[in-house]
Amino acid sequence: MNAIAIGPLVFAPDRFAAILAITTLVAVSEILARKVDKRFSGWAWGVVVAFVAGARAGHVIQHLDGFLAEPLRVIYIWQGGFLIWAGVVLALAYTAFYFRYALRLASWSTLPVAAAAFVALVVVQLAAGAPATPLPTGDVYRTLAGEPFRPTSLEGQPLVVNLWASWCPPCRREMPMMANVAAESADARFVFVNQGEAAVTIRNYLDAESLVLERVVLDGLGEFARHYAVPGLPATLFIGADGKLQSVHMGEISRESLLTNIERIQLIQQDHAESRQ
């Protein structure tokens, strides 16, 4: 499953799992606040903040060089990037401090935590994995330069396909970073498939932002998005050398997540090559 759509809202599965887990933790904690001790109400929100802060801090430290170059990205939590075990450690420390004068209550905290973890695990498992969708066949697209483009012509090498539009704010925010990684990466080919815009609109946007993209493909009818069942923009598709979809990132992507996924499809390619030997 690539994404979870609720009306006009589109969520990546991991983010939807996080939202449901937090909702569950707060709800169960409110029950404990009424039945056991009112302090659970305050603890719930505090432990959520502690977990998120710890997980984010762990991720930032893990990729410190990149964040030192762009310090403001530390607060861009909508891009994703969390180290779960670091969040757990800080949440445990917060819980021990919060209930330091009533340690018997700390054991009750395992109920909302267990419920939240269970909900998150179920959602992630149900939404795990992307179908091994092959590259579109039959259709001939046009590049921004006016050249014919067949997606299957790129089989044999790892691909990163970014579905975007210039009217999409998250697309615009991530595009300079995407362009930079695309220019520097030798591990994957990048294809920027514009959804539904005219060539002149795309050129004007790229010129205004001083962006240079090697391969921009025009998809006026949104065929790529339908082919891969992508309900929103931006979407970044990671495709193996065999032309099969490996994973999808819905929403704005961070540099770290982009590079990690490129490395993953590279490893998959190497494993396939070794298995054929």
The domain locations on the chain are 8-127, 141-276
Written out in words, the top-level CATH class of the domain with range 141-276 is alpha beta
Q: What is the pTM of this model?
A: 0.87
Instruction: Specify the amino acid at residue 54.
Output: G
The CB-based long-range contact list for 5-14 (8 Å cut-off, 24+ gap) reads 5/231, 5/232, 10/231, 10/232, 10/250, 10/251, 11/250, 12/80, 12/249, 12/250, 12/251, 13/123, 13/124, 13/127, 13/128, 14/80, 14/124
pLDDT digits (tens, 9 = 90+) for 58-78: 999 999 999 999 999 999 998
pLDDT digits (tens, 9 = 90+) for 149-187: 999 998 888 999 999 999 999 999 999 999 999 999 888
Residue 186 buriedness (CB in 10 A; 0-12 / 13-18 / 19+): exposed
